[in-house]
Chain A
Amino acid sequence: MTDFDVIVIGAGNGGLTAAATLARRGINVLVLERHNIPGGCGTSFCRGRFEFEVALHQLSGMGSPEYPGPLRGLLTRLGVMDKLDFVPMTDLFRVTVADAIDITLRPDWEETVAVLSNRFPREKEAVQRFFDFLKAYFIEVISAVYMRDPERSREKYPLFFTHALRSTREVLDEYFEDPLLKFVITPYWAYMGLPPRHLSFNDFAALLFSYIEFKPYYLKGGSQAMSNAIADAIITAGSSVRYNCGAKKIVVKNGAVRGVITDEGDEIRADYVISNASKIATYMELLDPEEVPESVIPELRQASVSQSAFCVYMGLDCTPGEAGIPEATHFLSQSTDVDVGYEKMKVVDIDDRDFLMMTCYDLIVPDFSPPGTCQVTLVTLKYGESWLKVPPARYAEMKFKMGDAMISLAEKVYPGLRTHVEEMEIATPITHLRYLGHPRGAIYGFNHFRKDSTMFVPPRSHLKGLHGAGAWMGYPGFQPTLESGAAAARAVIKEMKGGRNAP
């Protein structure tokens, strides 16, 4: 006898969609969540009169009701669309590089080409060729990968087979001369964590194509609204979510999952577990060492842990207009040298060489903050290792020092920004480690070098009844992690049908 059909460890994006997918099929699921609220990264916190968005900046894959993207389909199947209000964003991003450039791109192919051609007249032709190539490339990807064309071959999809594994920088160098132009096309590398030199062209193309084609979206109530809606769908379908209750151990008997022991020491029986904890914690902490399957060792060994983030959340006592903020998403840099920017992610210090992103949510959802106020978040990616070396006694000092440095960088574009700050919270890699439980506070799972893509490390079960969901199983970000949960649920259903983990 089991207590539940499936236990899901963690109510992050992947855990939530996994549980909701199963629960809506009539499968009895228990979600264990260590915190008092669902969402993992997809959450918010209140300070004074502000509710701060923690992690969502630009939701990919939504598309419009008339031209839906894959994520809209998933959320519709989970029955949450009528409870959520998604808002398309009018900008892809604004990019500034010191005094060298200030340019805003919009989610429209023709306009993007026109804006870039206008700013870089000498490379006008290359701009047109590149965007034609990008579209043609990704149309091949859709057919070959997403539609699973049974006759896919190198001959039929030459662009895909030639360029997928190449470095983004190499491809861009074939089209463009001006480093500024290359820089303003590529800031989305920050959403994957690897600069163009390391990012596979396939991953870069997926980012840029889907944001232009389906537009970036945000939603009223922020990512917490989506997390709450999915958690509610789980409860409404008759399954359970237990908050303030983490998992301590996954119980394994005769090489198969048989349940979970909670932090409080209760054993709950189930033959299937979907872990939304990090892949490292799942195999190194939740399983006893003697139960760790041999097959997962090389997979873990080849992977390295991604960046965490350093974030400054600010509630301003003025409108975006009064603060001089024209666009919701802004990538700020003082130089076009992204490789230096990437190396800077390995140290605690923040200075002129760091690459920043700023989001002002009130420019997307006008009543996001109370009237006459707005909310601004500054983010830069940082690997957690260096922060872990900060002595606890000096931690607060470092946190304020780096927060100050980050705001000073933003003030190069928005002078006097700090004089408007009414509420502020700073999150360091240690903060992310604390709330996510991820090694080194990682927010993107493992580093996404091409060797680590799902093409080479597909998500799979290493132990009977055990499956994974979240960024550690594939790609980072909201759309991929939400999709990974649904995929994990399908894998469990498949295993259930095969009777593979029947005791």
Chain B
Amino acid sequence: MNDELAPQMDCYEEVLKEIELSRRFGSDYSLERGEVARYINALHPPRMTLRVREIIQETSSTATFRLIPADGQLPPFLAGQYVTLFLTIGKIRTARPYSISSPPNQTAWYDVTIRRVEEGLVSNHLLDTIQIGDLIETSGPVGTFYYNPIIHRPVVAFIAGGSGITPFMSMIREIYDRGLDRRVFLFYGNRDSTDIIFGEEIERIAAVSANIHYVPVIENPDEQYDGRRGFITGSVVKEEMKTLHDATFFICGPQGMYDFCLPELEAMGIPRRSVRREMSGPPLQVWEQPGWPEEVKKDAVFSLSVGGVKTATIRAPATESILTTLEKNGIPVPSLCRSGECSLCRLKLLSGTVFQPRGTPIRKSDRQFGYIHSCAAYPLEDCAVLI
């Protein structure tokens, strides 16, 4: 109507009538205030506050924290997904992802199962200080390590190492509880027979389920043990499963297990599309990763200058991710997966070079414009980043 052309056009009067009617009987968007946020929070809340309802000692090293919503309802999730816990430990604000070990059909709580690790800042804090009744801030459930019924096969092999059992526990419990039509081979590797997380429950389920086949593999078993020993090799998998084609393989465990098991699967001719791997967190000894430059010693410390919202110049050890260094210096950066994948901790590297472990998925144009995933970037010289 503000345009002088329209009134000379064919159909102009008709359009005017449409406008007049729709302005009288059209939508009142003021009635929808807050709706977008409500839908997002029902399915994908960016943040939730959960209360520790129970702490279940699983083994000498491991406990399950049963988390219930402080208010409202928990969003649904897919077995295999994780939540990130946001914590303040001393003066450090940090975050860690933990797979949900309870099944999705259990809608009242999420279980996260945490094993003590040497120098594990967050796991030890949780195990030593968190008590029943405490509130914990978390992300909503996220992650891509789940069964996709469109492309994954009804026969699945779960290859778990140590605490890598947690996403599989959610999947197995769901398959068992809901009687899903899926055939499971669980290969569960542990160092010894005394500290097997969920060992008894898995045995119990396998004993009464024709479709769940449990294969424990112990590296250094005690004398009474009569099961499989050593590592989860290709031949172990083949002997148990008989036929390997038309199965989907899921693998979750420490870095060493991926290094060992993935080539074993490949050698047996299992195509890449049939193998799903969970993220493995940051490498424990980054200086031993392929591609780490020899001239940078593991005790090297560089200077990291930070610009943007906050400005600072801080000391940055070569073997610590830039994300961790920033957090330790009171500069929090949003993060979720802390394995280089989700890109939430993306920052612009203004100068300097960083080591990014092979296979860290970074967008092509992020590489072009100098963006890094700070959880998977280690300084190799003095660096500057923009926050």
Asked whether, in the complex, the Cβ of B39 is within 8 Å of the Cβ of A388, the reply is yes
Asked whether, in the complex, the Cβ of B368 is within 8 Å of the Cβ of A302, the reply is no
Q: Given that A144-B5, A433-B39 are known contacts, is A240 also in contact with B308, CB under 8 Å in the complex?
A: yes
* Interface residues in A191-239 (C-beta closer than 8 Å to B): 220-222, 224-225, 227-229, 231-232, 235
**Closest CB in chain A relative to B287 CB, distance in Å:** 25
Asked whether, in the complex, the Cβ of B29 is within 8 Å of the Cβ of A439, the reply is yes
- Tally the A-B contacts, defined by beta carbons under 8 Å: 183
Asked whether, in the complex, the Cβ of B40 is within 8 Å of the Cβ of A302, the reply is no
Asked whether, in the complex, the Cβ of B15 is within 8 Å of the Cβ of A450, the reply is yes
Interfacial residues, chain A to chain B (CB-CB below 8 A):
36-37, 44-49, 51, 83, 144-145, 152-154, 161-166, 220-222, 224-225, 227-229, 231-232, 235, 240, 242-244, 280-281, 283-285, 289, 292, 298, 300-305, 317, 388, 392-393, 395-396, 400, 403-404, 407, 418, 420-422, 424-425, 430, 433-434, 437-439, 449-451, 455-456, 458, 460
Which of chain B's residues have a CB closer than 8 A to the CB of A242? Answer: 308-309
Which of chain A's residues have a CB closer than 8 A to the CB of B19? Answer: 302, 451, 456
**Closest CB in chain B relative to A204 CB, distance in Å:** 14
**Closest CB in chain B relative to A435 CB, distance in Å:** 9
Asked whether, in the complex, the Cβ of A301 is within 8 Å of the Cβ of B26, the reply is yes
Which of chain A's residues have a CB closer than 8 A to the CB of B35? Answer: 439
Asked whether, in the complex, the Cβ of B22 is within 8 Å of the Cβ of A451, the reply is yes
Q: Given that A302-B19, A424-B150 are known contacts, is A225 also in contact with B42, CB under 8 Å in the complex?
A: no
Which of chain A's residues have a CB closer than 8 A to the CB of B42? Answer: 392
Asked whether, in the complex, the Cβ of A164 is within 8 Å of the Cβ of B362, the reply is no
Which of chain A's residues have a CB closer than 8 A to the CB of B44? Answer: 434
A305 vs B29: C-alpha distance when bound (angstroms):
10
Asked whether, in the complex, the Cβ of B346 is within 8 Å of the Cβ of A165, the reply is no
Interface segment out of the listed B6-14, B95-103, B185-193: B6-14
**Closest CB in chain B relative to A384 CB, distance in Å:** 9
**Closest CB in chain A relative to B142 CB, distance in Å:** 11
Identify the interface centre among B19, B27, B36, B149: most chain A CB within 10 Å of its CB: B36
Asked whether, in the complex, the Cβ of B365 is within 8 Å of the Cβ of A225, the reply is yes
Q: Does chain A have a CB within 8 A of B91?
A: no
User: Chain B 11-55, CB within 8 Å of chain A: the 1/0 string?
Assistant: 110110011001100111110111110011011100000000000
Which of chain A's residues have a CB closer than 8 A to the CB of B308? Answer: 240, 242
Q: Which of A37, A243, A284, A424 is in CB contact (< 8 Å) with B29?
A: A284
Interfacial residues, chain B to chain A (CB-CB below 8 A):
1-3, 5-6, 8-12, 14-15, 18-19, 22-23, 26-30, 32-36, 39-40, 42-44, 75-76, 78, 107, 144, 148-151, 271-273, 308-309, 334, 341, 343-346, 348, 361-366, 368-369, 371, 386
- Taking A301-B23, A317-B271 as known contacts, 14 extra A-B pairs with beta carbons closer than 8 A to each other, sorted by chain A number, are A48-B361, A145-B5, A153-B8, A164-B10, A165-B9, A166-B10, A221-B364, A225-B368, A235-B386, A281-B36, A303-B22, A425-B144, A430-B39, A450-B18
Q: Given that A301-B22, A434-B44 are known contacts, is A403 also in contact with B39, CB under 8 Å in the complex?
A: no
Asked whether, in the complex, the Cβ of B10 is within 8 Å of the Cβ of A165, the reply is yes
**Closest CB in chain A relative to B117 CB, distance in Å:** 27
Which of chain A's residues have a CB closer than 8 A to the CB of B273? Answer: 317, 420-422
Asked whether, in the complex, the Cβ of B363 is within 8 Å of the Cβ of A439, the reply is no
**Closest CB in chain A relative to B179 CB, distance in Å:** 16
Which of chain A's residues have a CB closer than 8 A to the CB of B39? Answer: 388, 430, 433-434
Asked whether, in the complex, the Cβ of A421 is within 8 Å of the Cβ of B151, the reply is yes
A156 vs B204: C-alpha distance when bound (angstroms):
86
Asked whether, in the complex, the Cβ of A404 is within 8 Å of the Cβ of B150, the reply is yes
Specify the chain B residue showing the minimal Cβ separation from A154: B8
Q: Given that A37-B346, A228-B368, A302-B26 are known contacts, is A400 also in contact with B8, CB under 8 Å in the complex?
A: no
A371 vs B62: C-alpha distance when bound (angstroms):
43
Q: Given that A439-B32, A458-B3 are known contacts, is A403 also in contact with B150, CB under 8 Å in the complex?
A: yes
A440 vs B271: C-alpha distance when bound (angstroms):
39
